[in-house]
Amino acid sequence: GAGVSQSPRYKVAKRGQDVALRCDPISGHVSLFWYQQALGQGPEFLTYFQNEAQLDKSGLPSDRFFAERPEGSVSTLKIQRTQQEDSAVYLCASRPYAADRGYEQYFGPGTRLTVT
Amino acid sequence: GQQVMQIPQYQHVQEGEDFTTYCNSSTTLSNIQWYKQRPGGHPVFLIQLVKSGEVKKQKRLTFQFGEAKKNSSLHITATQTTDVGTYFCATRDSWGKLQFGAGTQVVVTP
């Protein structure tokens, strides 16, 4: 079956522009996560959705970052007034269940954002 | 900051050799997961360990969780070029949120 998909795969933005990154999780997956991966580092947690509810946004680096999942399926991560330090790969992951049931996360291919 | 530290950061291995990468924490972990990320790819789940002293094998890969649940290791035998990539350990909270280490980048020379 289809895995997690993300679009666009690559995005170049000029400093100060707004960007929107899309994640299509595996159909029926309840939990959705966004991570930010800087070059040469491990992914860092940004935010977590259970269905349409954003239960944890503690990893969002600033109020320029906003995420939503209005119908409990597709999610969008929006970055306003992009800065050079926002350059990274943004990974989306989903899993079938809510809390501590099952443990494997399925990652999408990521969106590589470059801010010039 | 990252709760789990990985060593080494880089590992150059001759094809056919064995190597081990380590994941350490200053606190007791409830679980440890291992992921592999190929160059240009995304993390792919390999395994989860939850019990003290647990050992799991996947073909040439052996995963171990320390007795004190503060460290874990991944041992690969007879390394192949397909083993190239970065190996991450991560710990998961009850919601599934992962906290990753910085990874061990593995380069295999034929």
Q: What is the pLDDT of residues A10-19, one digit of tens each?
A: 999 999 999 9
Report helix, strand and coil shares of chain A as percent, to nearest 5.
5, 45, 50
Confidence of residue A2 (pLDDT cuts 50, 70, 90): confident
**Rounded distance, CA B96 to CA A99, Å?**
7
Interatomic CA distance for residues B45 and A83, integer angstroms: 31
Binning pLDDT at 50, 70 and 90, where does residue A25 land? Answer: very high
Using pLDDT thresholds of 50, 70 and 90, give the confidence band for residue A104.
confident
B2 pLDDT exceeds 80?
Answer: no
- Percent pLDDT > 90 in chain B is 93
Structure tokens at B102: 């910085």
Chain B residues whose CB is inside 8 A of the A100 CB are 94-96
Q: For B53-104, how does the pLDDT look when each residue is reduced to its tens digit (9 = 90+)?
A: 999 999 999 999 999 999 999 999 999 999 999 999 999 988 889 999 999 9
Q: How many residues does chain B have?
A: 110
Is residue B1 pLDDT above 70, yes or no?
A: no
Whole-angstrom CA distances from A69 to A14, A75, A79, B89 are: 26, 4, 15, 28
pLDDT for position A1: 55
What 3-state class would DSSP assign to A86?
helix
Would you place residue A32 in the very low, low, confident or very high pLDDT band (cuts 50, 70, 90)?
Answer: very high
End-to-end Cα spacing for chain B:
36
Which residues does chain A have within 8 Å of residue B45's beta carbon, measured at their own beta carbons? 104-106
Using the Cβ of A31 and the Cβ atoms of chain B, whether some distance falls under 8 Å is answered with yes
Confidence band of B38 (pLDDT split at 50, 70, 90): very high
Alpha-carbon span A7 to B89, nearest angstrom? 27
pLDDT band at residue A91, thresholds of 50, 70 and 90? very high
Are the C-beta atoms of B66 and B72 separated by less than 8 Å?
yes
The answer to whether the CB atoms of A44 and B100 lie below 8 A apart is: yes
Give the Cβ contact number of residue A40 at 10 Å: 10
- The answer for B 1-40 residues in CB contact with A (under 8 A) is 2, 31, 33
